[in-house]
Structure 1
Amino acid sequence: MNKRLNLLIVMIVLAMGIHVAKAQRNIGPPSLTSAPQACGTLTNGFDFTAELSPGNALPTNNEFILELSDATGSFANQSDITELGRVTGPNNGTAATSNINFTDISVPTNANSDDFRIRVRASEVDIISEISDATAFHFFDDNLEIILNGRDEIIFCNVASFAKEIAVEVRDENDNSVDVNTLKWEWLKDGAIIPGENSPSLIITEVGRYIARVPLGLCNNFFNPLNRSNAVDASLINPDDITIVTDDDFSFCPDEFKELRASLVDFSYNYQWIKDGEELDGEISPNIILPDNDFGGEYTLRIELSEDCTLITDLVTVTNEGSSITVPLPEGLILLPTQILTLTVETDAPIGSTFRWIRDTNVLIQGITTGPTIIFDVPANGVGDYRVEIDALFPDDPCMTMLFSETIIRSAERFDIVIAPEEVVDCEQDPITITLTEMVGITSTGDRVPLTTEQFDFFDFEWFNDGVSTGETSLSLDVSRSDSGGSFELRAVFRPGGLPDTVSNNLPIDFLSSDIILDITPPVLEPGESVVLTAPLNVNFTYEWYVIENGEEVLIDGETTNTLTVTEDGNYFARISTSLCTVDTQTAVVGGPAALSELIPNVITPGGNVANDSWVLPNSFSENDVEVTIYSSNGKIDFQKTGGYNADWPNDSASQASELIYYYIISRSSTVVKKGTITVMR
């Protein structure tokens, strides 16, 4: 009986084991169904599926979770496993195989490997699928733009070998810079990967076509060309291969079509044509059309192919087989009352050539040339359109050239004169020379016609400073710092009379130095308080204020006066501009008691207003070995003291601080340590 009972128990246990085995459900390895690789962007997604074996129902709240391994395909470290997505069910019992489907799954933004593997895990029961085969997962932001070498080609010439660094930059969809070190890189030369090169820059030493790209494994072709830069060609140019060419030879008649061309035409290059050693203004194309007059000479062409290669071609000599007008008439002239205006042209036409002077349509005079210069005296009130025509003598001129030059002569109702500095002005410059730069006659139709320098002799000139005559009558004026500047005008009077006097533009001259020190009041920024920075005041100055942050100059918006109220510690300076130049003040260090500035004030405001009545120096300049000397604007000593300086000036000023500008020198042990200016503002 016991044997039968034992056998029954064994049979029951076996039956239960078989039932449990049938109830246990398995999940096959998941696979990517929508594409061969998961090449992800910000906008796309992918579909995956896995087979769920038949069996009993699973808990209704069970979810299937799609998980991604680490980049090597391992699930060993839980922290390296990424959840890609989850779905609820299918959780019903079934006698047939069913599918677990995951749709529109995004690729993680840090994914970049061909060796990822995926699996499916049930949330409520202990079921984990088989692991998939290796599957490529790569993400790339397709809004990024990769730029290599600024899109510039690399061209070398006149070298046997070269070495040059090229680098990538990355811009986002808003054209903001992206840190190139956040991406991986690989380099290709002539389509082949360069082994071992994976930084965002590359030293190249060979000609070829170079591309940098973000390596995306099996997804490289999917993202091409988004994940790669522009191609940059590195080449060596033989200078002898670039020449100046023309259709026939370099000899022309004036009336022929005359074109010179570069043998190498690429509009990404910079061209400059040069004639007889002088650059031709505006001639910056690969070709040049020569004028009818004065085109003979020696031509070269400078071509800037890259920053590493600038070539100048061999010169070619262009011959004028005919004749030309070498000095033409000006485009327009003003005829002053009582003036006899002489028109002059010069020509290389053979002596004995016929010429004609024509006003409007009437021939005024004609004759035979006796030299290179042909002149004509325009009578008073002889306004009109003038033309000189020259028929070059044959056979001395085989082209039988017909030459002409034209000008328009008008009378002026009034004049306009412009004064300006003689040269670009440095704020430290002393003196500044200002001069008459332009004088034009204005016709009844509003045309502006420049006067000749010879016509200046018909006028009397006089310089004025702030409305007061300086007594100077030349065409230029030196303004020195000791004159304290001011506003200058030049007045012109037509000596014969009958035309209105003329006054030039008003030109303010203000001197600045490069060592302007800002006043800080109070000198210490107490908690919850503010300090005021003050720059020299001048109605002709414009002001910008900056604070230095992380070594960069940051403009403080809206601050355009000579003062700035500061409530935070920092380094500040003002950028002061006059009509002629711009300087930056010295940097003012604003801080609490521990950061008390050692800067020397350069502005005082005496007059009983308590603040800034005296010139106060930092304590370090009150020692016995320090000498303070202050000079008036004419160079005389206004104050001098050795040791023990204690805000003694301007109380002890020899001039009673009556001038606007003073100069100081501070010496320690006979060595100059500080110098600058003091502005007295009342």
Structure 2
Amino acid sequence: MALGFQEALAQRNIEAPTLVSGAQACGTLTNSFDFTADMSAGVALPSNNQFILQLSNPSGSFANASEITDLGTADGPNEASGAGTVIEFFNVNVPQDANSDDYRLRVIATEASIISDISEPIPFHFFDDDNLLIRLNGGDDIIFCNVASFAKQVSVVVLDENDNEVDVNNFNWEWLRDGALIPGENNPTLLITEEGDYQARVSVGLCNNVFVFNKSNRISASLVNTSDISIITTAPDFSFCPDETKVLQASDIDFSYSYQWIKDGVELDGETSPTITLPDNDFGGEYTLEIELSEDCILVTNPVTVTNEGSSITTPLPPGLVLLPTQILTLTVETDAPVGSTFRWIRDTNIIIQGITTGSTITFDVPANGVGDYRLEIDALFPDDPCMSELVTETVVVAAERFDITIAPGEVVDCDQDTITISLEEMVGITSTGDRVPLTTEQFSFFDFEWFNDGVSTGETSLSLDVSRADNGGSFELRAIFSPGGLPDTVSNNLPIEFLSNSIVLDINPPVLEAGQTVTLTAPASTNFTYEWYVIQNGTEVLIDGETTNTLTVSEEGDYFARISSSLCTTDTLIAEVRGPGALSELIPNVVTPGGNAANNAWVLPNSFTDNDVEVSIYSSNGQLDFQKNGGYNADWPNESASQASELIYYYIISRSNTVVKKGTITVMR
């Protein structure tokens, strides 16, 4: 009896598909894989038949059709064959959500009831290998000092090719200590309590050794006994002559550490390496070294006392001095060289005076028109100075053609300050060649000073000026006139002072973001201010690129604020909450119109701000308390305004349980 058509087809079998090269399909954005399946001999299949390569669910099951993924198709072979043939699937991409070692493959024929055998488990994993960077603990090692135990939580950060953070929860994590997997740790954070080398990696099963960038940097965690870290020197001891090379260094040098040298309790500027070479003058004293091994381990070594066996110039000449007309300029040097030591004053290359010291101070009066290079040499007396120290200090004395004055605030300014003190910060003489040499404070007495505000004299002639918020600021200059005459007058830099506040409220117009519309946020405008705009996303301040004016137009709900900088300080405005119509009931009104009209006679707050734990305070524009109520606010203002709401602008503060929750302004319109 002849076989039916479907029975003939059923005689062709497809073996389980296999991966052409390798044992795992470790996929990236740029690679693909080839698969084959052997099909037995048999009659022709329909010419429109296709073969589909299918991927199971992660556990290897094809039971649920919704969990099966079609990876690729092949149009043949469909012709009859007296021998076995091969079905080929080329350039198959790994699905980007694939992450299991237990996937299985099968092949189905679209126009024939043929389903292949199911493959053995084949690992399928996808990782964006080229475009992600995983950083652990900012790259810093963990070091604890002199403790019996420690606990430190570290976390991973994932960055894309543009250095933007990628959500770490998009990945499955594994942790390794000393190269071995830590069982049960699969979060993007790890609490480290043991010494060792640690690394985080994205869990990609049997593809772990294939992907290069699924692993973070390695960090080490260690306990350090700091008692062995000290200051050492290659010299026999810590006693030196001035002309000797004087080098101190840390006994443990590691350039991943941060160092700071300290002399007599004062940090030495710029001395931040593990070694220090001491100067020839005034080097004696007590030295310590602060070493930051990590943020959890900062140590200070035991002090060492460095002894100067010879002499020093304890107060040298400044690098440069300005000789003013009619001024007697006295060069003064302090030294601890023994009395009776020989000294020489040299101008340019000529000895102009020499003698024997009679005390610790050596002076020389520079004559009129005595510009030049000055040098003091001291030959310390032997045997009182066993080193026979040869001490030198020098300066250049110049004549100034004109002067430059810099004024600035005398201290760090808080934007809420009511009074700001500005003062003469520096005055320099400028030579004919453009060299700039600072004047001494004693030389200020040769000048008459006067402060100007917006080009008008304030009548103040001291070296500092107090500017109050009530004065409304302005542009300030300090002018100087050389009292004896003969030199040009000098005007300082222009210093604009425009007062800011730490409680600036942004204007929101319109107050509600309607669908498809925009809202404009407005900060106080000034040409003296610079602006940056931020939106808060997931608790993080995110800079809005390109927005540098006092207005921002937004089309999305969110929490926004402006960072405003003046020449004096920087402040953040209060957060502006941009919301849609559903949030209308929570908006706090910023305008009242008392006077008998039907609308906005009273300042009405949303119900959420009328609880008994809420305090409402309203202040006049000059800071006087106009109204205050603890709990149960019920549209009481301006009916109970102490000033009868006679001013244009008032300020409000709403607190809940002694914590400020809202600030803003109220405009009174009549």
Q: TM-score band (shorter)?
A: 0.7 to 0.9
Distance in 2 between residues matched to 1:16 and 1:75, nearest whole Å: 31
1:190 deviates by: 1.0
Q: Name the counterpart of 1:618.
A: 603
Whether the aligned pair in 1 keeps the contact of 2:176 and 2:200 (CA below 8 Å) is: yes
Q: Name the counterpart of 2:202.
A: 214
Does residue 1:33 correspond to 2:23, yes or no?
no
1:413 deviates by: 0.9
Q: Name the counterpart of 1:124.
A: 111
Give the alignment's TM-score, normalised by structure 2. Answer: 0.84
Q: Name the counterpart of 1:245.
A: 232
1:570 deviates by: 7.1
Does residue 1:486 correspond to 2:474, yes or no?
yes
Distance 1:90 1:574, change over 3 A: closer
Does residue 1:115 correspond to 2:102, yes or no?
yes
SS at match of 1:456: helix
Q: Name the counterpart of 2:569.
A: 581
SS at match of 1:115: coil
Q: Select the residue among 390, 415, 429 that pairs with 1:427.
A: 415
SS at match of 2:91: strand
Whether the aligned pair in 1 keeps the contact of 2:261 and 2:287 (CA below 8 Å) is: yes
Does residue 1:449 correspond to 2:446, yes or no?
no
Distance in 2 between residues matched to 1:528 and 1:48, nearest whole Å: 50
Whether the aligned pair in 1 keeps the contact of 2:10 and 2:114 (CA below 8 Å) is: no
Q: Select the residue among 344, 351, 359 that pairs with 1:363.
A: 351
Q: What letter corresponds to residue 241 of structure 2 in structure 1?
A: C
Does residue 1:65 correspond to 2:52, yes or no?
yes
Q: Select the residue among 379, 394, 411 that pairs with 1:406.
A: 394
Whether the aligned pair in 1 keeps the contact of 2:402 and 2:488 (CA below 8 Å) is: yes
Distance in 2 between residues matched to 1:333 and 1:631, nearest whole Å: 51
Whether the aligned pair in 2 keeps the contact of 1:35 and 1:46 (CA below 8 Å) is: no
Whether the aligned pair in 2 keeps the contact of 1:23 and 1:56 (CA below 8 Å) is: no
Q: Select the residue among 203, 211, 218 that pairs with 1:231.
A: 218
Distance in 2 between residues matched to 1:628 and 1:17, nearest whole Å: 95
Distance in 2 between residues matched to 1:417 and 1:47, nearest whole Å: 76
CA deviation map 1:144-179 (0-9, x unaligned): 222111111111112110011111122223322222
Whether the aligned pair in 1 keeps the contact of 2:603 and 2:636 (CA below 8 Å) is: no
1:39 deviates by: 2.3
Whether the aligned pair in 1 keeps the contact of 2:535 and 2:560 (CA below 8 Å) is: yes
Q: Name the counterpart of 2:267.
A: 279
SS at match of 1:598: coil
Q: What letter corresponds to residue 393 of structure 1 in structure 2?
A: L
SS at match of 2:208: helix
Distance in 2 between residues matched to 1:229 and 1:629, nearest whole Å: 55
Alignment of 1:203-602 (within 5 A): 203-223=191-211, 225-248=212-235, 249-517=237-505, 540-542=528-530, 575-586=563-574, 594-595=584-585, 597-600=587-590
Whether the aligned pair in 2 keeps the contact of 1:632 and 1:662 (CA below 8 Å) is: no
CA deviation map 1:168-227 (0-9, x unaligned): 12222332222221211111111211111111111111000111122333222222x422
Whether the aligned pair in 1 keeps the contact of 2:403 and 2:430 (CA below 8 Å) is: yes
Distance in 1 between residues matched to 2:52 and 2:509, nearest whole Å: 67
Distance 1:557 1:150, change over 3 A: closer
Instruction: After superposing the two structures, state which structure 1 stretch, 82-91 or 593-602, moved more.
Output: 593-602
Distance in 2 between residues matched to 1:115 and 1:636, nearest whole Å: 72
Q: Name the counterpart of 1:55.
A: 42
SS at match of 2:210: helix
Q: Select the residue among 105, 114, 127 that pairs with 1:140.
A: 127
Whether the aligned pair in 1 keeps the contact of 2:533 and 2:561 (CA below 8 Å) is: yes
Distance in 1 between residues matched to 2:586 and 2:252, nearest whole Å: 65
Unpaired runs of at least 5, structure 2: 594-599, 607-615, 627-634, 655-659
1:341 deviates by: 0.9
Unpaired runs of at least 5, structure 1: 1-12, 605-614, 668-672
Q: What letter corresponds to residue 64 of structure 1 in structure 2?
A: F
Distance in 1 between residues matched to 2:509 and 2:214, nearest whole Å: 57
1:415 deviates by: 1.4
CA deviation map 1:342-376 (0-9, x unaligned): 11111222222111000001101111122221111
Whether the aligned pair in 1 keeps the contact of 2:453 and 2:474 (CA below 8 Å) is: yes
Whether the aligned pair in 1 keeps the contact of 2:233 and 2:248 (CA below 8 Å) is: yes
SS at match of 1:407: strand
Q: What letter corresponds to residue 254 of structure 2 in structure 1?
A: D
1:290 deviates by: 1.4
Distance in 1 between residues matched to 2:115 and 2:226, nearest whole Å: 71
Distance in 2 between residues matched to 1:468 and 1:480, nearest whole Å: 17
% same residue: 69
Whether the aligned pair in 1 keeps the contact of 2:337 and 2:385 (CA below 8 Å) is: yes
Distance in 2 between residues matched to 1:532 and 1:65, nearest whole Å: 55
Distance in 1 between residues matched to 2:309 and 2:532, nearest whole Å: 62
Distance in 2 between residues matched to 1:480 and 1:341, nearest whole Å: 39
Whether the aligned pair in 2 keeps the contact of 1:601 and 1:617 (CA below 8 Å) is: no
Distance in 1 between residues matched to 2:29 and 2:537, nearest whole Å: 35
1:58 deviates by: 2.1
Does residue 1:83 correspond to 2:70, yes or no?
yes
Distance in 1 between residues matched to 2:114 and 2:508, nearest whole Å: 75
Distance in 2 between residues matched to 1:92 and 1:526, nearest whole Å: 64
Distance 1:218 1:629, change over 3 A: closer
**RMSD over aligned Cα atoms:** 4.0
Q: What letter corresponds to residue 488 of structure 2 in structure 1?
A: P
Rg larger for = 1
Distance 1:36 1:291, change over 3 A: same
CA deviation map 1:389-444 (0-9, x unaligned): 11122222222221111100011111111111110111221321111111111111
Distance in 2 between residues matched to 1:215 and 1:522, nearest whole Å: 49
